[in-house]
Amino acid sequence: MELIKFIADFANQFDETDTSEFKADTAFQELEEWSSLTSMGIIAFVKTEYNKVITGKEIRSCGTIEELFNLISSK
């Protein structure tokens, strides 16, 4: 799994946030569009695309997209 591809795939889960907002150090939970529904979408996306299971608690423990990527990579 590549970080650049993960960031692009992650960005695709958002409808209204410009893709230029998404970088490795983006604090994704601070994005205006972030919600519990988005979090559920991320859980489904990770399961579908990477065949890995993450929880809402694990997502909340990550501050940036790169931290989330590292969490998923370590599973």
Classify residue 4: in a domain, yes or no.
no
pTM assigned to the model: 0.91
What are 19-55's pLDDT values in tens digits?
Answer: 999 999 999 999 999 999 999 999 999 999 999 999 9
Classify residue 22: in a domain, yes or no.
no
How many other C-beta atoms lie within 10 A of the C-beta of residue 65? 20
For the chain, percent of residues with pLDDT exceeding 90: 97
CA atoms within 13 A on the CB side of 54: 28
Classify residue 32: in a domain, yes or no.
yes
Alpha-carbon dihedral sign for residues 51, 57, 63, 67: negative
Structural domain including 69 reads 27-75
Residue 36 is predicted with a pLDDT of 93
